[in-house]
Structure formats: structure tokens, C-alpha cells
Structure 1
Amino acid sequence: MSEKSEKTEKTDKSERLSVFKTYKLYVGGKFPRSESGRVYEVTDSKGNWLANAPLSSRKDARDAVVAARKAFGGWSGATAYNRGQVLYRVAEMLDGRREQFAAEVAAAEGISKAKAAAQVDAAVDRWVWYAGWTDKIGQIVGSANPVAGPFFNLSTPEPTGVVVVLAPQASSFLGLVSVIAPAIATGNTVIVVASEKSPLPALALGEVLATSDLPGGVVNILSGRTAEISPSLASHQDVNAIDLTGADDGLAKELQIAAADNMKRVLRPRGAKDGDWSADPGLDRLKAFLETKTVWHPIGV
């Protein structure tokens, strides 16, 4: 190659335009822009610009509820074993994009790449862990009840329905997975309000879910101002439960009052327990959004 050709090639490379990633919402298995067209700047821990994220409106929140309700029948009606297979497939997809998520978590939370990679590994492991519980939790919370009469009396768990999840503000990926996976493992569908400061890992998770076996509408991801989006979701008559993990004390109190209008099930923030996402998660979140159905059946003679 001549000297002139080498200079031309170097000039072309240096003048190449940067192609920035366009983040979108994830609603009903699709990637819409915010209905309002608004975005907000997402920065790293040092204030450096990372991307523009969609600023969701109340209309986006209502669309997410419609999508979640539409998906609920099929997802809750699937066998627990099948739900476990689908969740495991999501874990496979996450593991295949490990480096991408490690880079996004490192930028979002201002930690080293090694620590970010460890968090991503823990998140993948946790997704697998919940996948394994889908067909076992019924044996833990269900029961055969003794009664005075010629009847079988059986109590079995059923999903609550459409669940709104306010994702943890500080743990942009491990905490996010820790609140989404148990809710859908038991047959619920969810609307996730991503971390306001660090929404990019959550929005990237939508791309993984869209290319996995998870039906559209089972998980819907919104980004934006938590205090702006969540009140309309808390008061929505077609939402059955709300997880307040990502709300501060003042907002949590406001949302509990709004949720009482149609007697939603509410999972309140747990303070320090919600801060250490690397700890053993236990079964609390698997049981949080389950209802108990009791059936009487005559004993055949």
C-alpha cells in the first residue's frame, strides 16, 4: 500500500461518525419511543454523558398495563415447568451478552469492570435460581388441610395478576433481576419502572427478553421519573399489586394510599434488606405476589 493510500485510510477512520445507541421502552414485546417524545440525559458517576433515555409519560404507563393484562392469561396458564424453561432461556441469553452488561453496569454505578462482571454473573445465577423454583414453590406454600367431613380440602397458590415493580435505584442490574424474576416465575406479569439514575441496563434487558422465549407483555420496561410515572400506576384499577422497593419514604407512603383504592397487594421497601442484593434472596419475593385458592372436593366412596 502506498504512503498516500495509508494516509487516506487513516483520515477516513478518524472522520467516521460515532453511532450512539438509541434506547427505547419495552412494552408488549415491542420497542416504542415515549408517547410524548421526551428524553432525558443519563450520566455516569462522574457526570459524563452516557445516553438519552426515554422519559415515559402516563400514557406509556397505561399502555404497559394493557400489554401486561393481555399477556397475563397465557403466562399464568402455562405450566410451571414451561415457565421455568423460559426463564432459563433468558439466563442463557444474558450470559451470552455478559460483556455488554458488565460495561453498562460499570458505567452506571461507577464501579470497576471486575466488580460489574461479578454482579452480572450473580444476576445470571439468580435468574437460573428462580427458574428452578417455578415448579417447586407450589409444594412449599400449598397444603392439604384436615377437615371434619368426607372431603378433600386443598390449598394451592395462584399468581396475583399484573404487578408494578419500582426497581432499586442503586443496584441497576442485580437488584433489577432480583425483583423481576420472582414476580414472573410465579405467573404474574409486570410493569417495571427502571432506576431513574441508571436505566440503561434495564432498557438493554428488554432487548434480551425480546429475543428470548418470553411472550410479549409479560415484562414491560419503562424509564423516566419514578415520582411522575408511579402514581398513575399505583391508582390504576387494572393493576393488582405494587412492589415499592425503588421508592423513597415519602413516595412510598403516597403510593400506598393510592394503591388502597382498589385494595392492591403492596410490598413495602425493606430498608437495609433491600440494599444487599448479593445476599441469599430466600423465598419471600416468590411468595409476595401469590394468592391462595382453596378447593373442597368430596371423597369418593
Structure 2
Amino acid sequence: MSERISVAKTYKLYVGGKFPRSESGRVYPVNDARGKFLANASLASRKDARDAVGAARSAFAKWSGATAYNRGQVLYRVAEMLEGRREQFIAEVATAEGIAAKKAETLVDAAVDRWVWYAGWTDKLATVLGSANPVAGPYFSFTTPEPTGVVAVFAPQASSLLGLVSVVAPVIAAGNTCVVVTSEDRPLPAITLSEVLATSDLPGGVVNLLTGKAAELSPWLAEHADVNAIDPTGVPLEARADLERSAAGTVKRVLRAPAKEPDWTATPDISRLRGFLEHKTVWHPTGV
């Protein structure tokens, strides 16, 4: 009997809670750290990015209008499901990043813990970042944080899971929705994460994952009028200035990303939560 030829997988995009093929029909090969072929991934196009932005905008009102406690419960459920597929993530991270299983195990556990950490912050943001302002007059003045809107997130290129979780979780914990461009060379852990999100309590459209080339998709997302903010972490340093200039045309908020790849294993702070929050101040007369 001749040797059996395995059937290569061709993974799809994750947009609006569904798994569509790229409208262009394009795919590209995904290899492991040693160059061995693993699967095909969809090569997202401008039209796919536009569809993802539309899905994120449609989901924004419901997600931002949910109680902070409810958002925390949903994020915690994602962490539970990540834990349930722990062994699969360990194998995929080890293969994608070319590291030992023990180190991959540490990174996957850190990714689960990071989801839990941000889940715990959802109902504390208003207390920590809001304020009752002193005023000289018969008024109350309150400042409260509110989500920015639709955020385009360019995931880290080297950290296939922990870095991805570290940039996506704070965006949605703050009540935003997002369009995420995954690592081009290491997209498989992100694709598995999309399967987790699709079967969790997270509403469709809150997170939309596009595989493909950040250099190809970034100009369209930067110029899109329905994108309110950008996290350029995964964009090469030399391309960020052009990205910021394009984003300025529609007055987008652009997170100031570090020049070097951050240490994703370090304890996080709330700077990424602050990055995509606006502050609304309300005045109200006393005695009314």
C-alpha cells in the first residue's frame, strides 16, 4: 500500500462570529519554526477588513452597553475554555515558535492568567479611573470612562498567543470591539483562539480575526472612517509613521507602541486599558 497523503487544512477568517473564506479566495502556506509545512491560512483582503470593521461596529452598541460585571463574566468564560484546550495550545505554540513544550506550557498558562486578570478589571475601571470633581458652585461634576469604539489591533509577530491575548483582552475588557490582524508567520494559535471565542459567551463581532499581511491591511484600517483607534504593536517600526499619518485623516487614537518587542511575560498594568478609554464629564445641578 502506498504511503497515505495527509489532507492539509485551510483555515478561514473569523468575522462576525462566523468563519468565512477570504472573498479573494487567496491563501498562504503556514510553516513551523523549522520551515515544515503545517497548513494554509486565508490571506485577508481589503474587502475582508471592511467586513470585519462592519461586524465590529454592529457589535459595539450591545457590548459597550453590557454591564461591566457581565463583560467580566464573559472574559472569565473565555479563560475557562482556554484552560480546557490547554494541551492543544501548548502544542501549537511550541510548534509555531520553535520552543520546548515546557516553555510553551509557561506561555499558555500566562495567557490564561492574563484573560483572568483583565476579566477582574472590567468592573473596577469606573472606580479607579472615574472621579467626582470638586466644583465651586451648586453642581455635581462626575467623570466616567467610556470605551472608544472600534479598535484595529495589529498583534505581535513573535508572540503567537501570549502577546495576542495581551493586546486583545484589554481592548474588549474596556468595552471596545476590535479587528485583529494576527501574526503573519505564526497564526495557528490565533486561529484556535478564534474557535474558542466562537463557542464562548462572547457576542459575534466583538473580536474579529484576520490572517494575512499587516503591511497590506494596515493602510485600509488606518484610513477607514469607522475605525476609532489603532494599536500598532505588530506593525514594523519603520512603517508606523505612515500608519499614524493615515490615521490622522480621520482623527484616530493611536496607542504609542514600544520600539522593541515587550516582555509579554511581565506583570501587566492598566496602561492598555487606559489606552482605549475616553473620559466623559457630566455636570448636574444639586437639589434637582
For normalisation by structure 2, the TM-score amounts to: 0.97
Superposed CA deviations along residues 9-44 of structure 1, whole A, max 9, x for unmatched, are xx6xx8655343331100000000111010111111
Counterparts of 2:281 and 2:75, CA distance in 1: 28
AA at the equivalent of 1:288: G
AA at the equivalent of 2:66: A
Contact 1:166/1:246 (8 A) holds in 2 = yes
Does 2:217 match 1:197?
Answer: no
- Matched with 2:114 is 126
Taking only the aligned residue pairs, the percentage that are identical comes to 70
SS of the residue corresponding to residue 262 of structure 1 reads: coil
Does 2:94 match 1:94?
Answer: no
Superposed, which structure 2 residues align to 1:172-191 within 5 Å?
172-191=160-179
- Matched with 1:170 is 158
Counterparts of 2:256 and 2:215, CA distance in 1: 16
AA at the equivalent of 2:44: S
Superposed CA deviations along residues 140-165 of structure 1, whole A, max 9, x for unmatched, are 11000001101100000000000000
Q: Which moved more, 1:64-73 or 1:113-122?
A: 113-122
- Matched with 2:286 is 299
- 1:246 pairs, out of 229, 234, 247, with 234
Q: Can you give the 5+ residue segments of structure 2 that lack an aligned partner in the other structure?
A: none
Does 2:71 match 1:78?
Answer: no
Counterparts of 1:178 and 1:249, CA distance in 2: 19
Counterparts of 2:212 and 2:218, CA distance in 1: 10
Where do 4+ consecutive residues of structure 1 move more than 4 Å? 14-17
Contact 1:252/1:268 (8 A) holds in 2 = no
Does 2:272 match 1:285?
Answer: yes
**Total equivalences in the alignment:** 288
Does 2:121 match 1:158?
Answer: no
SS of the residue corresponding to residue 10 of structure 2 reads: coil
Q: Larger Cα Rg: Structure 1 or Structure 2? A: 1
SS of the residue corresponding to residue 215 of structure 1 reads: coil
Counterparts of 1:184 and 1:172, CA distance in 2: 19
SS of the residue corresponding to residue 17 of structure 2 reads: coil
SS of the residue corresponding to residue 242 of structure 1 reads: strand
Q: Can you give the 5+ residue segments of structure 1 that lack an aligned partner in the other structure?
A: 1-10
